[in-house]
Structure 1
Amino acid sequence: MRDWMERQQSWIYLSFILAGMGLGMGLPGVSAWLEPLLWPLLGVLLYATFIQTPLSRIREALKDLRFLSALLLGNFVIIPLIVGIFVALLPLSFAVQAGVMLVLLVPCTDWFISFTHLGRGEAALAIAVTPVLLVVQLFALPFYLWLFLGTDQFETALSSHLIGAFVGLILTPLVLAWVTERLGHRSARARQLVQCLAVLPVPLLALVVFVIAASQVTTVTSLSGVLIQVLLIFIAYLVFAAFLGKTLAKLFRLPMPSARALTFSFGTRNSFVVLPIALALPEAWHVAVVVIVFQSLVELFGMVAFLHWVPSKLIPEP
């Protein structure tokens, strides 16, 4: 069941987004009933996602220094610099720029593993480096926001709601996931809980995007022109990420499976983590929420293309 949902997740999310938009247009008052469900859904989603990120494997990730160096250089130096400079030069509103930068600045820590496996990359290595990616981005994201948004806008965004969202929806699920992971080493029930939670990320994210689509449908319809612009940005980013993965893999002399894992890491972004942050921004910035959800949908269809392109054309068998 889990494998089927992961293979079909692009269509699942698209169906739930369209259903949410239809509900929001047909019953405009429904958002008042749905929005209170959003934060609990996000909390459980992030807990279920983080619990698949074994923090105890950080030592294992540090063994392959060439792959780790290429991974950190691409995800936390090259990509942020290119994205920050490029997006700042585009004629987009500040809220749209914030959404684009938020979602492209931090690497994925969940379906990156699934797509690496499906794309015949080194899935075990992807699992090992995921906790490293998660820990580094939690420290790097505030710096990126300050660097690219500017001091004034950063102080505006850094409200009590944002800090509460970060603690309640990111740090708390992360700590609970770590505790559950530790219990899993000692308790069979805890291990069963981890196995059950592994099925939840796809249906929970489908419900999250359904609620967002239903509550933000008027914003989506008014942003049709902007979404076309950011669509081109997200497609251009995927192409850039693919060639960056191939280039750094050659530079660091990585074997073919590791090179594919590197490329899938660059192509996938962490919309799960930045979505609560965007939702906690001032109301005038809520356009960023729509941009982030839209990017995740574009990315999923992009990953379907990656599954055909990366193993057969970009990084084929030697």
Structure 2
Amino acid sequence: MNAKERLQRRQVSVYAVAVLLAVGLALGRPDATPVVQRFIDPVLAVLLYVTFLEIPFVRLRRAFRDARYVAAALGMNFLVVPVVVFVLTRALPPRPVLLVGAFMVLLTPCIDYVITFTDLAGGDAELVTATTPALMLVQLSLLPLYLWLFMGEGIAEAIEPEPFVEAFLLVIALPLTLAWLTELWADRSAPGERWQVAMGWLPVPMLAATLFVVVASQLPRVWDSIGQVATVVPVYVAFLVVMPLLGRFAAGALGMDVGETRALVFTSVTRNSLVVLPLALALPAGYELAPAVVVTQTLVELVGMVVLTRVVPAWLVPDVSESAARADVASRE
């Protein structure tokens, strides 16, 4: 096992260290929050660039042709999830600032570390990556509509389109284009190939850096309003329990294989907190608590992902062929 493989195998520990360091900085130097917050979009853009580089575009195009999976991912995230979110959030206090934060994060499917956790669980990360642009475009279009349906016209009008467009251009379009150009460069020259190999070391460190920046910049908000923010935690936990089960059921109904099923489970449950955070920060006066509600979901989800990367392959979506092979080896011994 080379150094890169060892880093990938220990990536959850790396993320845990990053979060702990961020907590230390946020609580020890809360005055550093405004400075750290400026790095959210840049580090997120770099994270997506190195993530897109992990999967060659030839295979990416092939994966995107899997119409069944793409339709299932879109259906789960934009038809099933809104119903689940609406039901779960009935338990929250009727406070717009809490509801808008919860709606913003729960109604937007993840487009970054879902790829990492899908891969850790043995799912088809190529399929997840292939659907990323579609998921981002659709959520940018539908989030204002969902907020209008769930909360009324006032909050929908408060969501300015500029932050959404900026998020798509910076976080999706630019990294995706640069990754495609890098792949072309790597195919045509040795320096390009060396650059691509070097970038292959960065997905784990960049995700750790992104988590560090987000938690360090926003934890003081969470800490200062912990009594109010804590009310959304049971909703986030319930979402982490319900959606994997529904994803597994949908995949079974569609006859998906193990890799596809695990991919659908993770794309159904992981949320877009890192990308949504800049949008929550752009909300008008009176919604200052919304970013804390969003970041709280990040912290809850990270713990949930550690659990799900073990529960999904071991229990929810086991590989029957692998289990049979191990049983056969054991019987021969």
TM range (shorter): 0.7 to 0.9
Aligned mates of 1:284, 1:14 — CA distance in 2: 33
Which residue number corresponds to residue 132 of structure 2?
134
Q: Which secondary structure does the structure 2 equivalent of 1:120 belong to? A: coil
Query: Counterparts in 2 of 1:1-318, with a 5 A limit?
Result: 1-52=3-54, 54=56, 56-84=58-86, 86-87=88-89, 90-91=92-93, 93-121=95-123, 123=124, 126-131=125-130, 133-150=131-148, 151-158=153-160, 160=162, 163-282=165-284, 284-318=286-320
Shift of 1:18: 3.6
Q: Which amino acid aligns with 1:182?
A: L
Q: What TM-score comes out, normalization by structure 2 length?
A: 0.78
Distance 1:290 1:190, change over 3 A: farther
CA distance in 2, matches of 1:300, 1:169: 21
CA contact (8 A) 1:246 1:263 kept: yes
- Residues 160-184 of structure 1: CA deviation (Å, up to 9, x unaligned): 4554444344433333233323333
Shift of 1:158: 0.6
Q: SS of the counterpart of 1:138?
A: helix
- Deviation of 1:39 (Å): 3.8
Q: TM-score, normalised by structure 1?
A: 0.82
- Supply the AA of the counterpart residue of 2:77: N
Q: Measure how far apart 1:156 and its partner are.
A: 1.8
Question: What amino acid is the match of 1:134?
Answer: T
Shift of 1:145: 1.9
Change (3 A) 1:303 1:6: farther
RMSD: 3.1
1:112 deviates by: 3.1
Distance, in Å, in 1 between the alignment partners of 2:93 and 2:226 is 16
Q: Which runs of 5+ in 2 are unaligned?
A: 321-333
Identity across matched positions, percent: 36
Cα 1:128–1:209 shift into 2, 3 Å? closer
Structure 1 unaligned residues grouped into runs of 5+: none
1:40 and 1:251 mapped to 2: Cα distance?
40
Q: Give the aligned length.
A: 314
